[in-house]
């Protein structure tokens, strides 16, 4: 067994384990907890925010961190074999990671602190409602990104087409196509920070949007 091969597989295993943890909790937040909070009473919701949400957020953000770091290590092992599929997947994953640590977690800290004040007999923080909405938008965007991200991560090793050709070789995805994919993704990220959930508001809507985004990006890589 070669040391380099073992280390590459070890980082891949870490990537899988951390990624399953991260994305699993992302789907729990979006598909289960959010819908439950819409239907439950205020006391149950406050208790969950005080005791359940911080625990879930701990696994959520450190799952994201270790997924990101192990992904960088894997990209280093790939070297010249990096292709357009993995580049698109890495861009989506990186933005998702940044959304977790720079948007969702800071805003959820405000929500948790506000809830703690209310449970202690005080008033809710005035910025809590906006923080909750902002965290929700970023979380919905991460759910949107997750579908094509998972598709392109898998495609990098298992799907044929122009996107499978290494970036260092000829016959791969054109610079124009890759640039357009990046612009579309970055536009959606801008919306994640300053926009609205729109059709992503519902579970069905965000799933459909994620599938549509993946289809658009794939078509661009193959035919532009």
pLDDT in tens, 4-27: 888 889 999 999 999 999 999 999
Residue-wise pLDDT tens digits, 27-76: 999 999 999 999 999 899 999 999 999 999 999 999 999 999 999 999 88
pLDDT on residue 1: 67
Q: Residue 209: which of 224, 196, 222, 193 has the closest Cα?
A: 196
Numbers of helices and strands, H then E, in the chain = 9, 0
pLDDT tens for each residue of 192-207: 999 999 999 999 999 9
Q: Indicate the average pLDDT of the chain.
A: 94
Helices (H), 105-174: 105-119, 128-158
Q: Indicate the pTM of the whole model.
A: 0.94
Residue 89 pLDDT greater than 80, yes or no: yes
Q: CA 121 to CA 26: how far, in whole Å?
A: 31
Two tokens, residue 22: 């991260």
Domain ranges of the chain: 3-223
Q: Is the pLDDT of residue 169 over 90?
A: no
pLDDT higher than threshold 80 for residue 168: no
Q: CA-to-CA distance for 114 and 127, rounded, in angstroms?
A: 9
Q: Are 162 and 209 in contact (CB under 8 A)?
A: no
Of all residues in the chain, what percent carry a pLDDT higher than 70?
100
Q: What local confidence, expressed as pLDDT, does residue 5 receive?
A: 83
The percent of residues in the chain predicted with pLDDT above 90, rounded, is 82
């Amino acid at each position: 067994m070669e040391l380099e091969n073992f280390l590459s597989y070890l980082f891949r295993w870490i990537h899988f384990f951390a990624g399953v943890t991260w994305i699993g909790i992302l789907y729990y937040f979006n598909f289960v907890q959010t819908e439950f909070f819409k239907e439950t009473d205020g006391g149950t919701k406050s208790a969950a925010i005080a005791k359940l949400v911080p625990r879930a957020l701990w696994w959520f953000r450190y799952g994201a961190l270790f997924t990101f770091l192990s992904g960088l290590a894997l990209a280093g092992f790939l070297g010249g074999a990096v292709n357009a599929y993995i580049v698109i997947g890495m861009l989506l994953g990186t933005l998702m990671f940044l959304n977790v640590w720079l948007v969702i977690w800071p805003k959820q800290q405000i929500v948790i602190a506000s809830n703690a004040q209310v449970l202690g007999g005080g008033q809710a923080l005035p910025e809590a409602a906006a923080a909750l909405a902002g965290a929700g938008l970023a979380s919905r965007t991460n759910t949107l990104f997750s579908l094509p991200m998972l598709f392109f991560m898998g495609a990098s090793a298992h799907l044929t087409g122009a996107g499978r050709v290494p970036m260092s070789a000829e016959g791969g995805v054109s610079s124009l196509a890759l640039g357009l994919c990046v612009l579309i993704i970055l536009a959606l990220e801008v919306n994640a920070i300053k926009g609205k959930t729109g059709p992503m508001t519902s579970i069905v809507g965000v799933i459909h949007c994620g599938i549509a985004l993946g289809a658009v990006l794939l078509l661009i890589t193959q035919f532009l």
